[in-house]
Amino acid sequence: MINAPRARRVLARVLVPSLPASILSCVLAMISAFTLASAADAQNAPVTLAVVNARIWTGNPQRPWADAIAVRGDRIAAVGSSAEIRKLAGASSQLIDAHGHMLVPGFNDAHVHIISAGRGLSSVKLRDASTPAEFIARIKAYAKTIPKGAWITDGDWDHTLWGGELPTRQWIDSVSPDNPVWVTRLDGHMSLANSAALAAAHVTKATPDVYGGLIVRDASGEPTGLLKDNAQGLVDDSLPDPPAEVADRAFDAAMHYLAERGVTSAQNMGTWYDLSIFERGILP
């Protein structure tokens, strides 16, 4: 299971400050399932968030619809009429007029790759890089945002966008001197390593090809940095634990993505490696 307390903290941090002024149908994500309570039962302290003039589906067959809701911290304080909920809002409360748009409880995703998806979301974006120069520039810019020694992964580049020339380690060595680079083509069948990544994986001219894979080599037999199919395992198996800063960035990116789409709980279906980054204290 994902670290539930941390997930709730991240969701609370994401949802309340970032709610738009006009709420589109089904986009307000709630931390937990709707719990109905009357305004009279709410605590005396002002609520954090009040949404009025909405069409709220509660899931309660005795009262399936309401038009306003109040949230205090990460808990629903009250569901009722707009007039009742307005009374709970204080000067520091965020008050949103939904203009009749629909609000629903958050959704659960029972099968999602949270850690790997977050890593892709938070890493360098190469999917639409349309020239070699743009490909190189994006890696250079991203390398400046992470600690020295941290690996740059994912990317999802597509060499057909710039005419089909395959990238090599020489393209990116000079712009990533302090970070191993291991970026994958969008179909997953080949990845590009810079010289630092090849050195970390001990891939050299003497390294034999892997059954079901290929180490792409230049005319002198030196690896160009491209590894195809099963040969990618040579570098994959050498990936270290990410620094806490990078792992945290990936987790936050995934949680933001889920929250923005109304997914408020999820079960990670990643690898044991994904799950173990919590157990090993890489993420708190």
The structure's pTM equals: 0.63
| pLDDT higher than threshold 90 for residue 15 | no
Give the rounded percent of residues in the chain with a pLDDT score beyond 90. 55
Condensed to tens digits (0 to 9), the pLDDT of residues 63-73 reads: 899 999 999 98
> Would you say residue 13 has pLDDT above 70?
no
Q: What is the pLDDT of residue 261?
A: 84
pLDDT of 100 above 50: yes
pLDDT of residue 148: 93
pLDDT at 34 exceeding the cut of 60: no
107-284 shares the fold of 4-105? no
Q: List, for residues 150-164, the tens digit of each pLDDT value.
A: 999 999 999 999 999
Whole-angstrom distance, CA of residue 4 vs CA of residue 7: 5
Asked if the model's pLDDT at residue 42 lies above 80, the reply is no
d(CA 169, CA 227): 11
* Residue with the two structure tokens 């619809």: 65
According to CATH, the superfamily of the domain at 4-105 is: Urease, subunit C, domain 1 (2.30.40.10)
pLDDT at 44: 66
Tell me the one-letter amino acid at 100.
G
Q: What is the mean pLDDT of the chain?
A: 83
Average pLDDT on 85-98 reads 92
CATH code: domain 107-284 is: 3.10.310.70
**Hey, where are the domains in the chain?**
4-105, 107-284
Which range has the worst mean pLDDT, 48-52, 201-205, 247-251? 247-251
Q: How many CB atoms lie within 10 A of CB 185?
A: 20
pLDDT: which is higher, 108 or 18: 108
DSSP SS3 for 106: coil
Q: Where are the beta strands (DSSP E) in the chain?
A: 47-52, 55-57, 65-66, 68-72, 75-80, 89-97, 102-103, 107-112, 152-157, 181-185, 190-193, 213-217, 223-229, 263-268
pLDDT, residue 35, reads: 40
Does residue 82 register a pLDDT over 70?
Answer: yes
Name residue 38's amino acid.
Answer: S
Are the C-beta atoms of residues 2 and 268 closer than 8 Å to each other?
A: yes
